Amino acid sequence: MTTLLVLMLSLIGLGSQADASALRVTHRARAIAPGEVVLVEVNASVPLKALRAVWSASAARSGAAGVPVTFYALDPQRWQGLVPIDLEARAGRYVLTLHANATAGRELVREYPITVAARTFPARRITVEAKFAEPPAEALPRIDKERKTVEGLFAATTPERLWTKPFAVPVPGQATSSFGRRSIVNGQPRSPHTGTDFQAASGTPVVAPNDGRIVLAADLYFSGNTIIIDHGLGVYSYLAHLSAFDVAEGQVVRRGQEIARSGATGRVTGPHLHWTLRLGAARVDPLSLLAAFDAPPAVR
């Protein structure tokens, strides 16, 4: 019995090694740091029916649940997934644990470690009149209602990938380095800036960064005229401070299609376009997603 048990354990060990070698993993990213998107590609030695993954910090693997990452097939043996590193993620060693369903019910498992570097975002101190620092009491119910609406949209995940091409900038203007910046207004710290701002004069055409469905086109208290596009798989674009809409809620849009014009609506001091990108619950720089598709592949 002892000999048989040793043989069985040896075969299990060989099977695990074979599973790992059957999944070749590479990744692309502008940087591996908070606020970035990592494009992970898996090339399998056999056709796969499904591929799922969990992204988690090494220290939490035995306890807290990780972040699920959805992979989509380019063909049965080549899959891609977008791994989000949230704006406030801690530096350290993370692991992407891959589970692939191959033919004949076989499951392939692979752990892919990635180290997240520390990152410090800039801060600015400004002093304004009190009426500009805090919204009036009568606006608070509206603000709370709009916050719940937007959070509810972001919490839903469309299971299909609605895009096929890489993402593109929505306006031709230059982007600022505003993502992640925290403002300290009248001595009070505010939430970090979770989007990227683009220079855009009022009336500049705004195009869809990629294919998707319009799930919100409305005037919001802070962001003014706002459009949210569901790109599928938990990816959302939030485009704010628009002067006019060219689309309606429920409409399907294509990459590069004009959907609005830029402006200065909402709580802003001048015309520009604000683009927030959400991957599930993660807040990431839209420019990092654009860069990930162009970055050279790397292996860990």
Q: What is the pLDDT of residue 10?
A: 34
User: pLDDT over 70 for what percent of the chain?
Assistant: 88
pLDDT surpasses 80 at 19: no
Contact 56, 13 (CB under 8 A): no
Q: What percent of the chain has pLDDT over 90?
A: 69
Lowest mean pLDDT segment, chosen from 95-104, 123-132, 274-283:
123-132
Q: How far apart are CA 236 and CA 42, in angstroms?
A: 24
Confidence of residue 15 (pLDDT cuts 50, 70, 90): very low
Asked if residue 118 has pLDDT above 60, the reply is yes
Quote the pLDDT of residue 18: 46
pLDDT of residue 135: 85
The predicted pLDDT at position 219 comes to 97
What is the predicted pLDDT for the residue at 178? 84
Mean pLDDT, the chain, as a whole number?
A: 87
Region 126-155 average pLDDT = 86
Residue 297: pLDDT band with limits 50, 70, 90: confident
Residue with tokens 């494009």: 39
Task: Report the largest interatomic distance among the alpha carbons of the chain, rounded to a whole angstrom.
Answer: 81
pLDDT of residue 132: 60
pLDDT of residue 169 exceeding 50, the answer is yes
Neighbours of 158 (CB within 10 A): 16
Burial class of residue 197 (count of CB atoms within 10 Å of its CB; 0-12, 13-18, 19+): buried
Instruction: Give the whole-angstrom CA distance, residue 214 versus residue 136.
Output: 30
Query: Residue 52 pLDDT > 70, yes or no?
Result: yes
Residue 8 has pLDDT above 50, yes or no: no
Instruction: Give the pLDDT score at 125.
Output: 78
pLDDT for 289 equals 95
**Secondary structure of residue 246 in the 3-state scheme:** coil
Q: Determine the pLDDT at residue 129.
A: 65
pLDDT digits (tens, 9 = 90+) for 200-210: 999 999 999 99
Split at pLDDT 50, 70, 90, the class of 47 is very high
Domains located in the chain, CATH noted: 2-115 (2.60.40.1930), 123-292 (2.70.70.10)
- Condensed to tens digits (0 to 9), the pLDDT of residues 232-283 reads 999 999 999 999 999 999 999 999 999 999 999 998 888 999 999 999 989 9
pTM listed for this prediction:
0.88
